[in-house]
Amino acid sequence: MRNASVVTEFILLGIPHTEDLETMLFVLFLSFYIFTLMGNLLILLAIVSSARLHTPMYFFLCKLSVCDIFFPSVSSPKMLFYLSGNSRAISYAGCVSQLFFYHFLGCTECFLYTVMAYDRFVAICYPLRYTIIMSHRACAILAMGTSFFGCIQATFLTTLTFQLPYCGPNEVDYFFCDIPVMLKLACADTSALEMVGFISVGLMPLSCFLLILTSYSRIICSILQIRSAAGRKHAFSTCSAHLTAILLFYMPVVLIYLRPTPSPWMDATVQILNNLVTPMLNPLIYSLRNKEVKSSLRKVLYQLDFLPEQR
């Protein structure tokens, strides 16, 4: 990627209209970040330590937890750094890295949710063939595929953004480097690139969402054919957590990137929810209604001396 820019660093102005709230925001966001890291690490430990959870569904949940650890780590450390009174400057390379890894992890999660929906589709619609279709090899290929295509999408979007010359203002009116705010600083006409980026950012999540919708349409049809009420309840309970996580993931994407008239303050608020709150809630969503995960979590917490032993 060739840097034709005379700008060597950018200044992150932070969340719009939050002057004099730095201390409160620092404490709040640090709490969110710590809970996000702890929750997802506990989910990882619970799954890895329990042989019962070594199944495709929990394998993909493990990868989701890894993404949820790194995703907020793209922007949160720098944000916490300047909220604590330190420099708001970020180097050109640091800005490129932020944008690339943000979209790499975000796209990877988008593809991962699609794979997880396919996994539930096979488990419920083809239970007798599940272990054959979702073999260890198939799971590994699907998991690597999510990262591979996420990397391609992120590389395209990053190249699209930073092929432009940045030779004038360097103040980023946001709390991290993202496509919409960076295009405003470019010293060139960005209308064509904005349209290409809009189509690219919109098309990928839309395609994934349609695939998820197709999977769950088939799943619902299959569940409704189950005769026993207990069987239907169990099938719905295994899917409800995934559907909740999908809604929490897609709503911010639509609000931030696909609205015709952006609002800096609203975009920043929704982005904070997407970056910190959703990754923090995912461990709760996947553990609250899952007896196996809760049982394994208790064992992990007993071993770490966070809970008293049961008598």
Question: Which of 225, 265, 216 shows the shortest CA–CA distance to 243?
Answer: 216
Give a yes or no: residue 18 inside a domain. Answer: yes
293: CB partners within 8 A, 6+ apart: 43, 46, 47, 53, 58, 286, 287
pLDDT at position 259, please?
63
Read off the CATH number of the domain in which 40 is found.
1.20.1070.10
Question: Which of 124, 82, 106, 98 shows the shortest CA–CA distance to 218?
Answer: 124
Give ∠ CA 14-268-19 in degrees, rounded to 5.
40
From first to last of its 311 residues, the chain has per-residue pLDDT tens of: 444 447 889 999 888 777 788 899 999 999 999 999 998 998 898 888 888 888 998 899 999 999 999 999 999 999 999 999 888 999 999 999 999 999 999 999 999 999 999 999 998 889 899 999 999 999 999 999 999 999 999 999 999 899 888 887 888 888 899 888 888 888 888 887 777 777 777 788 888 989 999 998 998 888 888 777 777 777 777 777 788 888 888 877 777 666 666 666 777 778 888 888 889 888 888 776 677 777 777 777 777 665 555 54
Give a yes or no: residue 311 inside a domain. Answer: no
Residue 11: in which H helix or E strand, if any? strand 9-12
Assess contact for 9 and 63: CB atoms under 8 A. Answer: no
Give a yes or no: residue 141 inside a domain. Answer: yes
User: Which structural domain range is residue 206 located in?
Assistant: 9-304
pLDDT at position 115, please?
95
Question: How many domains would you assign to the chain?
Answer: 1
The length of the chain is: 311
Give a yes or no: residue 210 inside a domain. Answer: yes
pLDDT at position 260, please?
61
Distance CA 25, CA 98 (A): 21
Give a yes or no: residue 25 inside a domain. Answer: yes
